[in-house]
Amino acid sequence: MKQRIIRATAGTFILLSIGLATTYNIHWLWFTAFVGANLLQSSITKWCLLEDILTKLGVKD
């Protein structure tokens, strides 16, 4: 369950920031890059802050 929430959150943030970049300001793409960098970091280190937060909130795997 946690993995689905993490993927949905990342996908939502990416689509939202692309929409904001095309509608308001191109600098919103920095947020897209930030999300992508966090996904890459998570795949290398096997640590994800959102996963820790979800665990503390009681979300099961």
**So what's the pLDDT on residue 61?**
86
- Domain spans of the chain, in order of start: 2-56
**So what's the pLDDT on residue 6?**
96
Mean pLDDT of 31-54: 96
Whether the predicted pLDDT of 28 surpasses 90 = yes
Mean pLDDT of 5-32: 97
DSSP, residue by residue, the chain: -HHHHHHHHHHHHHHHHHHHHHHT-GGGHHHHHHHHHHHHHHHHH---HHHHHHHHTT---
Whether the predicted pLDDT of 31 surpasses 90 = yes
At 4, the pLDDT band (50, 70, 90 cuts) reads: very high
pTM: 0.86
